[in-house]
């Protein structure tokens, strides 16, 4: 007799002050359930509504083993497709179904993909600082615990704090995070020159442009950063301006990672087939979960493009685990962004204390050791949630300010 979907629940929790959305798919087998991530931190209530009001009525009673058919059904049922709210809702269910399939098979999910290509997943971490001295100190702290690839920023993503309207803006300009592309380019090139001078060439360096400059500026920045041998330059152009990557590629040899905001296969297909990027770094829940991510990984492999999935703090440990399971089985894996999700036995006590609320809510997290992250080898995704603990940390529905980015004249700029 088929195991079927009995109920679908949405658990919203914010143990670290970031809204997380976890979807729980309960089955006709009383003790069997799956968990997935549908986190859209800035529109979490919209995702919850789609799951509760539309996906649950559509899916209850269906066979949990039919992952592909269920994904296609969710994807087309609303007629309009590939939006971030719908994709995150679909992702939560999709990841939960893979979690269930692994539990039924008594295997970790990576085994369902053909098994490991590597034992551990090398990760990169973020180092920031108010100045070069603080930045280099933070880089060294990561090197001391085995991290060999580090993303370097100085003062965030090249903007000032929200509400600091510069003197260059016209009278009456709105509050926002104001950006100055030209000074950002100058400062960034000087920054990497100084990092290499201080720390040498043995460390892999990454920088995130975060789409915050115009495409011609991005080309100029990429050319200027070539002497400092970056591992890759992340999201140099916006989602809407990826056609410029052809010109960037023609003028610079710097490796390019792109895709944090992608929703739709049409956004990455040409970039991969024409070799315009070196790393694809989608956000798994943003594209609809494990099912489309696995297809994307295999597609990218055919063209020599490697994966570097998005791995920020605004995704739940279920999504981090999904990243790791795909990474372990992917021949074309490159590197994994890691936001510092650490297990209870992590060696740095101070970091344990900082992550206490997260570890109270989630258990079975992938483990970091000496530069690598390891799956815990439990069946399914290996991560569970304490619903009572999750309820202690409710989400907040507030106006997002960090995305209100503006150019020096006060006009809005993509964040």
Q: Are 190 and 131 a contacting pair, CB within 8 Å?
A: no
Classify 219 as helix, strand or coil.
helix
Q: Are 273 and 303 a contacting pair, CB within 8 Å?
A: yes
Question: Out of 42, 54, 157, 374, which one is annotated catalytic?
Answer: 157
Classify 125 as helix, strand or coil.
strand
Q: Clarify whether 210 is annotated catalytic.
A: yes
Q: Indicate the angle between helix axes 290-301 and 317-329, nearest 10 degrees.
A: 30
Give the H/E segment covering residue 232. strand 232-234
Instruction: For residues 48 and 336, give the distance between their C-alpha atoms in angstroms, rounded to a whole number.
Output: 28
Classify 10 as helix, strand or coil.
strand
Q: Are 232 and 255 a contacting pair, CB within 8 Å?
A: yes
CA–chain centroid gap for 267, Å, is 17
Q: Are 15 and 361 a contacting pair, CB within 8 Å?
A: yes
Q: Are 140 and 173 a contacting pair, CB within 8 Å?
A: no
Instruction: For residues 248 and 253, give the distance between their C-alpha atoms in angstroms, rounded to a whole number.
Output: 9
Q: Which two tokens mark 276?
A: 């315009």
Question: Out of 210, 283, 310, 320, which one is annotated catalytic?
Answer: 210
Torsion angle of alpha carbons 401, 406, 411, 415, nearest 10°? -80
Instruction: For residues 319 and 316, give the distance between their C-alpha atoms in angstroms, rounded to a whole number.
Output: 6
Q: Clarify whether 157 is annotated catalytic.
A: yes
Query: Which are the catalytic amino acids?
Result: 157, 210
């Amino acid at each position: 007799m088929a195991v079927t979907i009995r109920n679908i629940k949405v658990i919203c929790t914010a143990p670290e002050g970031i809204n997380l959305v976890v979807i729980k798919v309960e089955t006709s087998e009383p003790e069997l359930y799956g968990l997935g991530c549908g986190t859209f931190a800035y529109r979490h209530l919209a995702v919850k509504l789609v799951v509760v009001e539309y996906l649950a009525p559509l899916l209850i009673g269906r066979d949990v083993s039919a992952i592909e058919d269920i994904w296609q059904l969710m994807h087309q049922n609303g007629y309009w497709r590939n939006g971030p709210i719908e994709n995150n809702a679909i992702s939560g269910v999709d990841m939960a179904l893979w979690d269930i399939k692994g539990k039924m098979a008594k295997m970790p999910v990576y085994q369902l993909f053909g098994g490991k290509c590597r034992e551990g997943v090398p990760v990169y971490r973020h180092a920031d600082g108010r100045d070069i001295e603080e930045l280099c100190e933070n880089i060294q702290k990561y090197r001391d615990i085995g991290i060999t690839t580090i993303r370097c920023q100085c003062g965030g993503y090249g903007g000032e704090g929200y509400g600091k309207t510069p003197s260059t803006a016209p009278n009456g300009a709105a509050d926002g995070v104001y950006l100055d592309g030209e000074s950002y380019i100058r400062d960034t090139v000087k920054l990497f020159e100084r990092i290499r001078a201080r720390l040498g060439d043995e460390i892999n360096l990454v920088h995130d442009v975060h789409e915050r400059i115009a495409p011609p500026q991005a080309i100029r920045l990429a050319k200027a950063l070539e002497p400092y041998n970056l591992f890759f330059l992340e999201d140099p152009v916006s989602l809407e301006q990826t056609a410029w990557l052809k010109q960037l590629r023609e003028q610079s040899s710097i490796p390019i990672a792109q895709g944090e905001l992608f929703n739709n296969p049409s956004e990455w297909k040409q970039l991969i087939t024409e070799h315009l990027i070196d790393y694809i770094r989608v956000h798994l829940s943003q594209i609809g979960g494990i099912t489309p991510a696995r297809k994307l990984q295999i597609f990218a492999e055919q063209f020599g493009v490697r994966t570097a999935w998005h791995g920020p703090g605004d995704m739940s440990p279920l999504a981090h685990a999904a990243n790791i399971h795909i990474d372990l089985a992917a021949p074309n894996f490159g590197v994994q962004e890691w936001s510092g999700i650490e297990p209870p036995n992590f060696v740095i006590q101070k970091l344990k204390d900082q992550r206490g609320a997260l570890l109270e809510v989630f258990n079975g997290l992938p483990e970091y050791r000496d530069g690598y992250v390891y799956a815990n080898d439990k069946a399914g995704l290996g991560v569970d949630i304490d619903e009572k603990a999750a309820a202690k940390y409710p989400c907040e529905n507030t106006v997002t300010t960090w995305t209100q980015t503006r150019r020096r004249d006060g006009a809005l700029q993509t964040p």
